[in-house]
Homo-oligomer: A and B are copies of this chain.
Amino acid sequence: MNSSTSSSETSLSAESAIRFSQRGYASADQPISVLMAQALAQPDLISLAAGFVDQTSLPVEIVRAASEKLLSQPEVGAAALQYGTTAGHSGLRDVICQRLAEADGISSEGLAARCMVTAGSNQLLHLVAEAILDEGDVVLCAAPTYLVFMGTLAGVHATSWSVETDHEGMVPESIEATLRQFEEKGELHRVKAIYGVTYFDNPQGISTTPARRAAIVEIAKRWSRKHKIYVIDDTAYRDLRYEEQDEPSLLAYDDMGSHVIETGTFSKSFSPGIRVGWGVIPAELFNVLVQLKGNIDFGSPNFSQALMAEILTSGAHEQQVETLRSAYCEKRDAMLAALEASFGGKDEVSWVHPKGGLYVWLSLPEAVKTGPKGQLFDEAIRRGMLYVPGQYCFPAEGVPGKTNTIRLSFGVQSPDRIHEGIASLAAAVGAII
C-alpha cells in the first residue's frame, strides 16, 4: 500500500489511504474470530468451543479475603498500588519458583532470578516469539497444537511446523526426522524452538510421558550445534489433573537451565480475571524479554501480582485447585458419558480420554468435514451447539491436518448443558451423513 513517489498535490482528499504496518495487515484475520462472532451472534448457543473457565467456581471469597488482607495494611496496600518492576513482583516470583522446584524435584536456587511475571502465559509466549523469531524462522509444534500460539507465530511472520503425536505426546523420531530434513535443505538455522503443551494438551488432552519429556530436551540439546534450539514447555493445565500423579516438567530435564523456557498461568487454575502468568527462562534470554515487556507495558499490574502472591502463600490457591479439580472432573465425566451415549460403538468415531485439562478431542469418520465451510459446522450451529474445528489446530506446514476432527471444551458448560450440546452434535452428524 505504500507509495514511494512524492506528491505535489495540495488539496485535501476526503479519504486518504490507510496504511497499516506489515504486522497490522497480518493481524487482521485470526480463525478464532469466526468462532467468537458466531458465539456473539447467537448467545443461546451451547458453546463447547471456548477454553474459558467454569463461572460458578470462580474464587470470589478467596480474592475478597486476600484483597482485604493486603488493603487493610496501609503500607502493604500502597506498595501493591505502586509501580512494580518489569520482571514482576519479587514475592510472587519467589513463591512460584518454590512451588515449581518442589513439584519438579529440583533446586529452587537461582530460579526466581530468571522467572518473570506476565499478563497470562500468552504474553510470555508472545515475548519469546518477539525475542527469538524473525521472518521465516520455524517453531516445531505438535500436530495438532494450541491454535492461539500459531497466531502469535504468524504475527511475527514465523512458521509453525508440526510433527507427529501419539498418546504419549510428540513423537521424538518425528522431531528428529523433521530436523534432519531442515538440515538437508541447509535450513537448520531456521528452527529456533520446539513448542509443546505437555500436560493435558490443548487441543488433544494428551500428556507427555516422562520418557518423552527427557527425549525432547535431549533432542533440542543435541541439535543445538551451531545455533541453539529452545524447548518451550507450556504448562498451562498442569494443576488441572483429575487422575494419577503429577510428573516433573521439562525444566527437570534441563540440568543447566540452558534450553527450556517454561510457561505457566493462574488463569486456568485460579482466575483469568486476575490474569497472572509466568515464565522461567534461560538466563541469556531473560533481560531481552524484560526489555521487550518494558516497551509493551512496563510490567504487569502490581496489584494483581500482590494478590496472587498472598493467595499462593496462604494456601488458598491449593484449596481453589482442589475445588476446580472436582468441578472439572465431574464435567469431564459428563462429556465422556455423553460421547459414549451418542457415539459409542459408531464406526470410525473415537475420542481421547483426558486425565486433566479442559478438552476432549473427537475424531469423526473421514468423510465428515468439520471445518467452518463444511456442512457439519453450520448444521451443529443450527442445532444449537458450537465446537472448534480441529483443522484450526494444525500448522500449515509439516504433518497434514485432519479435517474430520473437533476440539470440545468442557470448561464452561454445566454437565446438563454438556449432555445437551453433545446430543446436538450427534444429531448434526447424523443429519449430514
Contact = CB atoms under 8 A, between A and B. Distances in A.
Contact of A292 (B16, B23, B225): B23
Contacts of A301: 119, 273-276, 300-301, 304
A151 interface: yes
B288 A28 contact: yes
> How many copies of the shown chain assemble into the complex?
2
Contact of A27 (B5, B80, B295): B295
A186 B4 contact: yes
Nearest to A71: B64
Contact of A120 (B17, B53, B287, B297): B297
B83 A63 contact: no
Contacts of A228: 16-19
Given A186-B4, A295-B151, A119 B17 contact: no
Contact of A60 (B2, B71, B187): B71
Contacts of A186: 4-6
A9 interface: yes
A30 B126 contact: no
Interface centre among A10, A53, A60, A274 (most CB of B within 10 A): A60
Contacts of A47: none
Interface string A216-227: 000001101111
B288 A273 contact: no
A291 B189 CA distance: 30
Interface residues of A, number: 106
B84 A60 contact: no
Contact of A192 (B19, B152, B155, B288): B19
B275 A20 contact: no
Contacts of A288: 20, 24, 27-28
Contact of A303 (B4, B5, B275): B275
A152 B221 CA distance: 34
A16 B227 contact: yes
Contact of A7 (B68, B134, B226): B226
A350 to B, nearest CB: 31
A5 to B, nearest CB: 6
A56 interface: yes
A242 interface: no
B122 A297 contact: yes
A160 to B, nearest CB: 13
Nearest to A77: B60
Interface string A63-78: 1100110011010011
Q: Which of A4, A55, A297 is packed against the most chain B CB atoms within 10 Å? A: A297
B273 A83 contact: yes
A273 B131 contact: no
A153 to B, nearest CB: 10
A12 B221 contact: yes
A386 B87 CA distance: 23
A156 interface: yes
A52 to B, nearest CB: 5
A302 interface: yes
Interface string A159-196: 00000000000000000000000011111110010000
A52 B81 CA distance: 12
8 contacts: A4-B189, A23-B131, A24-B288, A58-B81, A64-B72, A80-B273, A272-B302, A275-B303
